[in-house]
Amino acid sequence: MNNSSTTQSAVQIPDLGYKPWCVRNLRSRFLSVLAGLFAFLSVLPLIAVLVHILIKGFSSINVELFTQLPPPPGGVGGGIGNAILGSFIVTVIAALIAIPIGVGGGIYLAEYSTGRGFSQFIRFGTNVLAGVPSIIAGVFVYGTIVSTRILFGHTFSAIAGGTALSVLMLPTVVKTTDEGLKLVSNDLRRAALGVGASRFVTVSQITLPKAFTPIATGVVLSIARAAGETAPLIFTALFSPFWPNGIFDPIATLSVLIYNFSTQPYDVQNQLAWAASFILVVFILMLNLLARWLGRIASK
Amino acid sequence: MTSTSSSEVPDPNLDTCISIQNTTISYGDFEAVKNVFCDIPRGQVTAFIGPSGCGKSTILRALNRMNDLIEGCSLKGRILFDGADLYAPEVDPVEVRRRIGMVFQQPNPFPKSIYENIAFGARINGYNGDMDELVERSLRQAAVWDECKDKLKESGNSLSGGQQQRLCIARTIAIQPEVILMDEPCSALDPISTLKIEETMHELKKSFTIVIVTHNMQQAVRVSDMTAFFNAEAVEGGSGKVGYLVEFNNTDNIFNAPSQQATQDYVSGRFG
Amino acid sequence: MWCSQVNGRNSNHQPTPSGISAHLLLVLRKRAGVRVRFRYLSASRVTKIKARYLLRSRPPSEKLVDGSFKNLVVVMASMVALVLISILVVVFWGSLESMGRYGLEFLVTSNWNPVDDEYGAFTAIYGTLVTSLLALVIAVPLGVGTAIFITENIIPKKIRDVIGLMVELLAAIPSVVLGLWAIFILEPFIRPFLMFLYDDFGWIPFFSTEPLGPGIAPAILILVVMILPIITAISRDSLNQVPMKLRQAAYGVGTTRWGAILNVILPAAISGIVGGVMLALGRAMGETMAVTMIIGNSNVFSWSLLAPGNTISAMLANQFGEADVGQLSSLMYAAFVLMVLTLLVNIFAQWLVKRLSLKY
């Protein structure tokens, strides 16, 4: 009709439209949907577990749960007060052992090591220790502390359980301390040394405070992991239907309680296992959110 | 190799503070700077100039054993501070650094308040006088008092780059070292901050011996009494360059009547 | 004498620069508004001030603190190595008796009989390998697919972040809680499917027994849940590290999104992903609680995945506490086997990550 259309007829207008039925686009869309499906399947278990814990556990939350002892097999009522207290005690023991040693080891790696020889071996060992199955930590503590009765003749005890958990926490704490300190700029170290500070003063007053939040984040996460561990406790801390009786005697923990009660054929016990799961998961998720919050502070 | 020996120091009346004697510094197998002789006079500003990679910063860091922090760094020869060998085996590098302070290329205040930035070093050095007075005096001497007298409790990082660098100088003054080493203290700063720091240096040399590494020749001219010119040359068979001291003399002589052709070329901007 | 030097010098000495005019300098100074005021310190005052620094020479106590701190952290770092070596020694020492009695036959015989004091760990070793490997087969596509989904911009970033967060939180759920969930929810839920496998594919040895509750199949599924977060997290990190320029290069030559992902991005990230998969394998082999609670703990060997079975770690969890001496040694032997397997996998994973990383 007009001028432009005649000239354009000679040169083909390129067709740049999206062709939904072209093979490559079909394939691309299929794979996107597939990846989405996989992602959905991956989050499904979390939702399912959380929903079931909420339904089954939340209904039995009451005051007795926190204040009473578990009932004998076949009995009714009761709570898990001893296990809550016991989990707390064992986790604190583990933290008291693992945090100082782990932070010290991390300080060595980040501040003193040469990156060769001994320190390379320690870094490697930390990674390997992190991969040791948790049940092996239990076997180890059983072999060194429980069966040898090295602690004043006591066998199964809260302190043995705490030691086993600390073996699992140790590599995490070492790694987070090492990495946290490495994030501190070398300028700051030089500044402190430049005014005549010793290594000890530099680390304790300058670099360690500066790296506090990343280290705290990692430590909180490792505590959260330790609090939920069961395998190392089964034959170190064992279990006890009574209130904790000092740290040299067997002690009840939430995780071992869940394990024991879930396999018993009594509804009351099963119900208590769900309630214990609810409390444990809430506690652990709260620690995780705390760690996340710490991490966010650090990035600001 | 055209190293000047110590006998060539032009003014024999000047008292030597640090004497670098036939010093060679290597990183691993690689020699960074070689056979340096240099007597740094007391109460003066000595500038180290030269092209990149000539080892001037390496030599400077050797003067208060900051190179100890670098993996694989080793030193041959002697560095005497008031006659004491800094690299004798029984010497404690921490004590060396308490007498020979350092200001770094990047301003690096501690993540503490401005007040604490000053007080930290003084406390480490066992200062038992009036801390408030010391903080004020140091900040005044570093010409940064007016800018931060109202916010001594705020973080050192809240200052601008130039102010931070002067805070770092104040921090160094506060430990009352004999010598202050400055490793390109103005390279990260704008011209006005640079000028302020140069002003500060003019006043500081009344109380301290200052050694400054600078890339900026005009800065060397403006602030220094003595200038050492370093250069680097390719080593036969080696991959890198090795630095050496070309000429050490009064700043006037270095810039107006250098005895070496290389110095002449460099100060007139023909290379580097 | 230090002070006399200072006073003796002409403080106005300033070399006339050849390169810069004094006038320009003055102008600059005025513009900068620099007015430096000093309190000039008298010589005696300086000496007095210097005397106030009491620690110019470090007292022995300070050196002692410094030195002992270093020794302390060295000792603490050595603890890591010490613990690792002691674990190996304790487990190896404990298993010596059983090793002497059964030798390598322990690994291939499947009678586990505390009454007659006869032990062979093949059932548990088979269980460990088959559960962890099959779990891996399922978890790798799911995990890598999820990682791709949350690193490539297929959907808005907010939703991706939520998915990422949920996968990370899944990793935080204790294994014993997952075990509880598997007993009461998962296993009853999947039993009809397993029944279907038995009814229609019973002629295959792997599906040749009737599913009657706990068994290897639900154990595999719960292991998938446990290792998915590891695979997803490490794959996501590896994919995020692929440099942007590589993506741009791929899109620049006109590939589709998935063309770029499959041909360029995944190959670039493969080292990290494989490393993550190996770490997950190590975790799966050592995983204890959830598996113990759902696998059935049977020492009777069966090829069938629908039958109850055992893994090394489940066997340890079940029997270690109340074992007598002979059984204990055999359990230690089994623990030693598990330890060696996981160590090999972990060391291989570390080597792989180190070896293949930073090669784009």
Q: Which tens digit of pLDDT belongs to each residue from B32-57?
A: 888 899 999 888 899 999 888 888 88
Q: CB distance A187–B125 less than 8 Å?
A: no
Q: Is the Cβ–Cβ distance between B71 and B148 less than 8 Å?
A: no
CA distance C63 to A198: 8
**Alpha helices, DSSP H only, in chain B?**
56-62, 93-99, 114-124, 131-141, 145-148, 161-174, 191-204, 217-223, 251-256, 261-267
Mean pLDDT of the region A269-273: 89
Helix (H) or strand (E) holding B24: strand B16-27
CA atoms within 13 A on the CB side of C23: 0
CB spacing of A114 vs B71 below 8 angstroms: yes
CB B3 within 8 A of CB B20: no
Core vs surface per residue B31-44: b (16+ CB within 10 A) or e:
bbbbbbbbbbbbbb
The pLDDT score that the predictor gives to residue C231 is 92
Q: What is the pLDDT of residue C46?
A: 59
Distance CA C236, CA C250 (A): 19
Q: Is the pLDDT of residue B111 over 90?
A: no
Chain B residue numbers touching C29 (CB-CB < 8 A): 195, 199
| Res B238: pLDDT | 62
Count of structural domains, chain B: 1
User: What mean pLDDT is predicted for residues A192-218?
Assistant: 89
**Ramachandran sector of residue C186 (left: φ over 0; alpha: ψ -120 to 50; beta: rest):** alpha
Query: What pLDDT is stored for residue C30 in this prediction?
Result: 45
Distance of alpha carbon B107 from alpha carbon B121, whole angstroms = 16
Stretch 18-77 of chain A: residues touching chain B, C-beta under 8 Å: none
- Residue A279, pLDDT score: 92
The answer to whether residue B257 scores a pLDDT higher than 90 is no
Nearest to A84 by CA among A222, A256, A223, A249: A256
Mutate to test the interface with B, among A114, A185, A187, A195 (most CBs of B within 10 A): A195
Q: What is the DSSP string of A196-215?
A: T--HHHIIIIIIHHHTHHHH
Asked whether residue B82 is domain-assigned, the answer is yes
Among chain B residues, CA nearest to C13: B225
* B42: in domain: yes
Going by pLDDT thresholds of 50, 70 and 90, the confidence category of residue B232 is confident
Q: Cβ of C315: how many Cβ atoms within 10 Å?
A: 28
pTM score, whole prediction: 0.83
pLDDT at position B147 is 86
Secondary element (H or E) of residue C247? helix C244-252
CATH number at residue B30: 3.40.50.300
Per-position DSSP letters for B108-134, written without gaps between them: ---SSBHHHHHHHHHHHTTB-S-HHHH
Q: Is A151 helix (H, G, I), strand (E, B) or coil?
A: strand
Three-state DSSP state, C22: helix
Enumerate domains of chain A plus CATH numbers: 82-299 (1.10.3720.10)
Among residues C199, C184, C192, C166, which one has the least CA distance to residue C294? Answer: C184
* B272 falls within a domain: no
pLDDT given at position A68: 82
Closest CA in chain B for residue C10: B206
> Is the ipTM value over 0.90, yes or no?
no
The residue in chain B having the minimum alpha-carbon distance to the alpha carbon of residue A205 is: B120
Among A95, A93, A90, which residue's Cα sits nearest to residue A252? A90
Q: What is the mean pLDDT of residues A47-69?
A: 86
Closest CA to A289 of A224, A229, A230: A224
A51: closest chain C residue by CA: C181
Rounded CA-CA distance A261/A257 in Å is 6
Query: To 5 degrees, how large is the angle CA B56–CA B60–CA B61?
Result: 120
Which residue among B69, B71, B175 sits closest to A195, beta carbon to beta carbon?
A: B175
pLDDT score recorded for residue C357: 56
Residue with tokens 């036959």: C105
Q: Which residues of chain B does C22 touch, with a Cβ-Cβ cutoff of 8 Å?
A: none
Of C224, C199, C202, C218, the C-alpha closest to C304 is C202
Q: What number is the average pLDDT over the span B110-121?
A: 90
Residue A170 and residue C80: Cβ atoms within 8 Å? Answer: yes
The residue count of chain C comes to 360
Specify the pLDDT at position C37. 39
**Is B158 among the domain residues?**
yes
- Please report residues of B whose CB lies closer than 8 A to that of A117: none
Residue B1 lies in a domain: no
Share of chain A above pLDDT 70, in %: 95
Q: Tell me the shortest Cα–Cα distance from A103 to chain B, in angstroms.
A: 21
Would B80 be classed as within a structural domain?
Answer: yes
Q: For residue C337, what pLDDT is reported?
A: 93
- With bands split at pLDDT 50, 70 and 90, how would you rate the model's confidence at A100? very high
**Whether the predicted pLDDT of A65 surpasses 90:** no
B195 in a domain, yes or no?
A: yes
CA nearest neighbour of C222 among C269, C260, C186, C255: C186
How far, CA to CA in Å, does C293 sit from each of A48, A158, C32?
A: 18, 23, 77
- Domain span including residue B198: 6-267
pLDDT given at position B271: 64
Give the model's pLDDT for residue A283.
Answer: 92
Report the residue of chain B nearest C34, measured CA to CA: B196
Whether A28 and C257 have beta carbons less than 8 Å apart is answered as yes
Q: Which structure tokens are listed for B262?
A: 């290389």
- Strand order from edge to edge, sheet including B226-234: B84-85, B73-81, B16-27, B30-41, B241-250, B226-234, B45-49, B209-213, B179-183, B100-103
One DSSP character per residue, C273-328 reads: HHHHHHHHHHHHHH--HHHHHHH----S--S-SSS----HHHHHHHHGGG--HHHH
Q: Does some domain include residue B223?
A: yes
Highest mean pLDDT among A158-167, B1-10, C145-154: A158-167
Could A133 and C288 be called an inter-chain contact, meaning their C-beta atoms sit closer than 8 Å? yes
DSSP A241-287: SS----TTS----HHHHHHHHHTSS-HHHHHHHHHHHHHHHHHHHHH
What is the helix, strand, coil percentage profile of chain B, to 5? 35, 30, 35
Mean pLDDT rounded to a whole number for chain B: 85
Q: How many CB atoms lie within 10 A of CB C57?
A: 12
- Which residues in C lie closer than 8 A to residue B124 (C-beta atoms)? 55
Digits of tens for pLDDT over chain C (360 positions)?
333 333 333 434 444 444 444 444 444 444 444 443 334 445 555 566 666 666 667 788 888 888 899 999 999 999 999 999 999 999 999 888 888 888 888 888 888 877 777 888 888 999 999 999 999 999 999 999 999 998 887 788 888 888 888 888 888 999 999 999 999 999 899 988 888 888 888 788 788 888 888 889 999 999 999 999 999 998 998 888 888 888 888 888 878 888 888 888 888 888 888 888 998 999 999 898 999 999 988 888 888 888 888 999 999 988 887 778 778 888 999 999 999 999 999 888 888 777 665 554
Contacts of residue C94 in chain A, CB cutoff 8 Å? 139, 143
Q: Taking 90 as the threshold, does the pLDDT of residue A147 lie above it?
A: no
The neighbour count for residue B121, using CB atoms within 10 Å, is 28
Chain A residue numbers with beta carbons less than 8 Å from the beta carbon of B155 are none
What's the pLDDT at C59?
Answer: 80
C16 — contact with chain B (CB < 8 Å)?
A: yes
The tokens describing B162, both together, are: 């130039």
